Amino acid sequence: MKAVTILSGGADSGTLLYYLLDKGYGVYILTFDYNQKHKKEIEYAKKFVEETKKRYPDNILEHRIVDISPISDLISKGALMKEDEVPHNFYTEETQKQTIVPNRNMILLSIAVGYAIKVGAKKVFYGAHKSDYAIYPDCRKEFVKALDTAVYLGNLWTPVEIEAPFVEMTKYEIIKLGLDLNVPYEYTWSCYEGKERPCLECGTCLERTEAFLLNNSKDKLLTEEEWKKAVEIYYRKKKEI
């Protein structure tokens, strides 16, 4: 069974890859360079795959880094692509909306579908999850279903399905699954800032800290000292809400 999946370099898509490998899929992986401010996630995606190959040497069929920066020039808007500041603190409806990159996920999934047809894979897996529901409409089940239908109707001779196995799961549940699957989270990057180390204060850092805390676990990406600081920041910001 062949599948295509998108690996951003973050914790969710990394967990999705292990979910697929655990199920025995042969996986074609795409990572996109869209001029994101946090380009570091691409380097992490490469390291993550290298590490994963050691455990699943036969199931990683390809990992391509695809440069779509000319497209990003067209659609650039939103905090992830340099025009605005990445919001710090827990997301509010307003600040999370600032991180939307117009139609990004549909663009990436459409490319993944073309690639699936090329390599003869019948499924494209998408790491959308419930914690993003409220603000990112393209992380909702309704969108996934509609896109799956469009993909089917547009490619009748070479059918491909879009599946989003985490669509009903929270970030806490995803990390729980990933810890069971021994996902090497030390090779994942979530922070939206492009700095040397995670800022620990942006909405995405806070969500990540929370997911590991709820699992009574530590984020292996961080040193002991950083983790202490992350937990301290998390509780402080939590009180401020």
Chain residues binding a second copy by CB under 8 A are 30, 64, 66-68, 70-71, 74-77, 97, 100-107, 109-111, 113-115, 117-118, 137-138, 140, 142-143, 146-147, 149-158
Strand 2-6 relative to strand 123-125, pairing: parallel
Taking alpha carbons only, the member of 177, 179, 165 closest to residue 127 is 165
Per DSSP, which regions of the chain are E strands?
2-6, 26-33, 60-67, 123-125, 161-163
Min separation Cβ 170 and a second copy, Å = 21
Measured from the CB atom, the residue of 28 and 234 that comes closer to a second copy is: 28
Angular region, 129: left φ>0, alpha ψ -120 to 50, beta rest: beta
Min separation Cβ 44 and a second copy, Å = 21
Tell me if residue 126 falls in helix, strand or coil. Answer: coil
Taking alpha carbons only, the member of 10, 19, 27 closest to residue 112 is 27
Distance CA 70, CA 76 (A): 10
Measured from the CB atom, the residue of 102 and 168 that comes closer to a second copy is: 102
Measured from the CB atom, the residue of 137 and 195 that comes closer to a second copy is: 137
Min separation Cβ 137 and a second copy, Å = 4
3-state SS track over 39-62: CHHHHHHHHHHHHHHHHCCCCEEE
Q: How many CA atoms lie within 13 Å of 17's alpha carbon, on the beta-carbon side?
A: 34
Min separation Cβ 190 and a second copy, Å = 22
Min separation Cβ 3 and a second copy, Å = 16
Min separation Cβ 97 and a second copy, Å = 7
Measured from the CB atom, the residue of 67 and 180 that comes closer to a second copy is: 67
Measured from the CB atom, the residue of 147 and 175 that comes closer to a second copy is: 147
